[in-house]
Amino acid sequence: MAGGKGTRLLALTKDEIPKPMTPVCGKPILAWQVEQLKVNGITDIVMIIGHLGHKIQDFFGDGRAMGLRIRYIEETSPLGTAGAFYYLRPMLAGETFLLVFGDVLFDVDLARMMRFHAEKKAKATLFVHPNTHPFDSDLVVMDEEDKILAFDSKNNSRNYWYDNCVNAGLYLFDAAVCGHVSEPVKTDLEKDLLSGMIQSGQAVYAYRSPEYIKDVGTVERIKVAERELASGYIAARNLRRPQRAIFLDRDGTINKKNGLIAKEEQFELEGCAAEAIRRINASGYLAIVITNQPVVARGMCGITDVERIHNKMKTLLGREGVFLDEVCFCPHHPDKGYPEENPQYKISCHCRKPDIGMIEDCAARLHIDLSQSWMVGDTTVDIRTGKNAGTHTALVLTGDAGTDEKYNDVPDMVCADLLEAVKKIIGG
């Protein structure tokens, strides 16, 4: 989708080039995108152009010089974000196509997203991720299987705790989806096409990944992206490369220890938590919560209650401009059994810390090198968990401060709180 006028980028485009040709580190956004597509084995590209579209055609031509096939759909009047699907239908040879918005910079292992799309038998798959400003972003609402239930517009009044999950502007579609656009009229991808598919129960899924994809539609965002490109941060986030993670305990580490937390009003962030996670976000490490939540097995609350508490955590952190890449929890208890209303939890559990099922699952999905990662928590259980998983370990003197004394493992370091631990881990 390369037809943007780029009003917010006039200081750079001077209305002499279209928005997708705005330079980032001396190269047009669109050229960065095309290079990424080629790296991922995508060589047949259709560019939907409009305002100053001839500048794009002059730059890329038919693509043969780059080993690509590039064709164009020129909109004589704006057709929104999906109206050009009408013209796209006869140009598609395969069963699936990728849609990229022309103002996003990305470095993504698309093969993983394609496997997800195929495994879910999806009609449409949206790349989603947490961001630093969920409070003014359109959010994606999903079920436990990652099927999208709704979009929550940033213009809505949000009087609830929400998951920090944002549509990133990268999509996989079955070619048949183009048939939903029966005439070349202005059509909004989200409001007119995807929302209709969701409401009719079609298979629209969210693919969540910590890889780098950002809207660079403002001058300030381009400046940030240029710094991130130059530092190697963007390329390092691609899941083809091994990742480093800081696994975080929740109670007593991120939030204040307040007994067994079964109600959202009991949850209160540690004063340093947002700043600590801000530093993790900027460092290139993944920020992943690993927490035992036996309140479910004890019958104190249900899975949805724990998820609501976690959404409070994500909302509060989002208000501070920070995010968690993953939140994993184990609802079991080794002694209390399992409530009759939750028979699905009557299983042999390898997730509950100090077992490492949650960490192993994250490591497999996100290509995490555990030997380069850390486990940070306030109990000896957390330290034993890190030792079992092969990570480095840090004990914080908040919460239980190691007084549980269940294990004798010695942490690699002891810190006053999460912020001190993160500073020592990342160096700064």
Catalytic residues: 249, 251
ω into residue 28 within 30 of 0, thus cis? no
The structure tokens listed for 272 are 């340093």
Burial class (CB in 10 A: 0-12, 13-18, 19+), 78: middle
Measured between alpha carbons, how far is residue 383 from residues 121, 249, 356 in Å?
Answer: 40, 10, 12
Strand partners, 315: none
The pair phi, psi for residue 375, each rounded to 5°, is -115, 125
With a CB cutoff of 8 Å and minimum separation 6, the contacts of 260 are 294, 295, 298, 300
Task: Provide DSSP, 181-204.
Answer: --SSS---IIIIIIHHHHHTT--E
The structure tokens listed for 134 are 């969920």
Helix (H) or strand (E) holding 371: none
125-157 per-residue burial string, b: 16 or more CB within 10 A, e: under 16:
bbbbbbbbebeebebbebeeebbbeebbeeeee
The pair phi, psi for residue 191, each rounded to 5°, is -75, -40
409 DSSP assignment: P
- What's the order of all strands across the beta sheet hosting 245-248? 326-330, 286-292, 245-248, 374-377, 392-396, 413-415
Based on its alpha-carbon atoms, the radius of gyration of the chain, rounded to whole angstroms, reads 23
Q: Is the dihedral of CA 346, 349, 354, 360 positive or negative?
A: negative
Give the HSE-up count for residue 373: Cα atoms under 13 Å, Cβ half-sphere: 29
Cα separation of 78 and 166, whole Å?
25
With a CB cutoff of 8 Å and minimum separation 6, the contacts of 67 are 38, 43
272 DSSP assignment: T
